[in-house]
Amino acid sequence: MYSSDFGKDFLWGVATAAAQIEGAANSYGKGPSIWDTFSKRPGKTKKGHNPSEACDFYHRYKEDIALVKTLGFNVFRFSIAWSRIFPLGNAVLNQEGVSFYHNVIDECLKRGVTPMITLYHWDLPEALSKEGGWTAFAINSAFNEYALFCAKEYGNKVKHWIVINEPFGFTSLGYMLGVHAPGQTGVSNFFDAALHTAIAQADGAKILRAEVKDAIIGTAFSCSEIIPYTQSGQDLLAAKRVDALMNRFFLEPVLGMGFPTAEWDVLEKFAVTHSTWRHQERMKFDFDFIGIQNYFPLVIKYNAFVPVVQAWEVKAKNRRVPHTVMGWEINADSFYRIIKQFAAYPEVKNIMITENGAAFHDKVIDGKIDDPERTEYFKAYLAAMLRAKNEGVNVTGYLAWTLMDNFEWAEGYQARFGIVHNDFKTQQRTIKQSGYWWQDFLSK
Ligand code: BGC
């Protein structure tokens, strides 16, 4: 299997995110983001790691983009740090930040790599968080102002856009479970944040459509195949609830179906209290592609003691199935099935895998960074994607997560997902064996 098996127009890229790679978090006029402040709170990230230096991409973007090219990828996905452009969230502009992204874009174009911008990858300006962040309705006008600025500023050079990275990911981890920034908890915060995010997702896309000529606009959903632990009625229903939340909750409003409230009284109540039907038109957008990001399937069991969802994950290690160092099950067939699940909506015309990858403990053997598990992982997942494509699913691109080891949110610098190794003391990049595998795969 080589990249040519996927057709000549297929997009191959690496995905990254500002807070995870840039560093220079407190310099060059950038305002603090919620990840800068959250990571400084005791116990919030492993070993108290924070994104202030990360991979120092801010100073090394030229070498890193050269590396993307050397490996043979034709797309570089990166996100804009909102607070580098608007340090206080809106109104006051930081010209130095604006110029930085021009430089990154120009470097991509110079090297013949297509830049793909994510507008929001989780690093909300702290100043906006103080005013309620995603739980406050005011976030929508602030986000629209930011989106409009980016579209006007970069739209003549950048055609590929992703509005929001994993709405379910950051609203659930950051506003319900409190394990990601801004560390808020509770179902009510989650539902408030979710509604405003669903609105922002479509608003942002409409702004891009209006401002950017020939734009190719997508948004990126996390997804996981949900497998009931047993065929008992209770497990089946628990799996259905989790599926509604993790796979359907943010997708269906985009498709004009509203939130998936029918099968679950909690969602029904949310829809009623937030009058979500009033926003149904606003949450809808005909995206050019639907980005899906898959890392693991979940096996779900009924559990009466878990509030709201009454469901519990049966972990991969307890089921003794292969998993990564994150504890995430490795299961390429499940990747195939979740692609099919998303493709089954007639409104979904084009799917791009906007993230997929794995963290392992890499070994240094004879000066080489040896990561055979990661290479095997990619081989299996790409074969699964090819199977779906050959069966008629319109998959048009694949972006590997990720270019280099980086700041893995609450896991700090310990979880390494890169196909390039980064030494965080020296910022030395070394291509891993999986990176060389990619280079070969992409060359034919
Ligand atoms: C996120 C990335 C993250 C990756 C691995 C995705 O959910 O978009 O930022 O690093 O998963 O955890």
pLDDT digits (tens, 9 = 90+) for 38-95: 999 999 999 999 999 999 999 999 999 999 999 999 999 999 999 999 999 999 999 9
Whole-number average pLDDT of the chain: 98
Tokens of 341: 């699940």
Q: Report how many domains make up the chain.
A: 1
- Residue 419 bridge partners (DSSP): none
CATH number of the domain that 21 lies in?
Answer: 3.20.20.80
Residue 406 CA: nearest ligand 1 atom is 10
Q: How far is CA 267 from CA 201, 224, 233, 257, 302, in A?
A: 20, 19, 20, 14, 18
pLDDT for residue 278 is more than 90: yes
- Cβ 16 under 6 angstroms from ligand 1: no
Q: What pLDDT is recorded for position 249?
A: 98
pLDDT for residue 435 is more than 90: yes
The CA-based angle 22-111-376, given to 5 degrees, is 70
* Torsion of Cα atoms, 394 then 388 then 72 then 403, to 10°: 100
Residue 218 has φ and ψ, to the nearest 5°, of -135, 180
Candidate from 409, 411, 413, 419 with most ligand 1 atoms within 8 A of CB, to mutate: 409
Question: 282: pLDDT confidence band, cut at 50, 70 and 90?
Answer: very high
Candidate from 118, 295, 355 with most ligand 1 atoms within 8 A of CB, to mutate: 355
- Cβ 355 under 6 angstroms from ligand 1: yes
pLDDT for residue 108 is more than 90: yes
Compute CA 287 distance to the chain's CA centroid, rounded to the nearest angstrom: 17
Average pLDDT over residues 100-128: 99
Question: 22: pLDDT confidence band, cut at 50, 70 and 90?
Answer: very high
408 is catalytic: no
Tokens of 226: 């949900």
Residue 17 CA: nearest ligand 1 atom is 9
Catalytic residue, chosen from 22, 107, 126, 166, is 166
Q: How far apart are CA 431 and CA 444, in angstroms?
A: 19
pLDDT for residue 26 is more than 90: yes
For residue 53, the enclosing domain spans 3-442
Average pLDDT over residues 360-383: 95
Distance 273 CA to ligand 1 centre (A): 31
Q: How far apart are CA 97 and CA 269, in angstroms?
A: 42
Q: What pLDDT is recorded for position 320?
A: 98
Distance 232 CA to ligand 1 centre (A): 33
- Residue 363 bridge partners (DSSP): 370
Question: 221: pLDDT confidence band, cut at 50, 70 and 90?
Answer: very high
Relative orientation angle of helices 57-71 and 433-443, to the nearest 10 degrees: 50
Residue 402 CA: nearest ligand 1 atom is 10
Q: How far apart are CA 310 and CA 49, in angstroms?
A: 33
Distance 20 CA to ligand 1 centre (A): 9
Q: What pLDDT is recorded for position 380?
A: 98
145 is catalytic: no
Q: What pLDDT is recorded for position 287?
A: 98
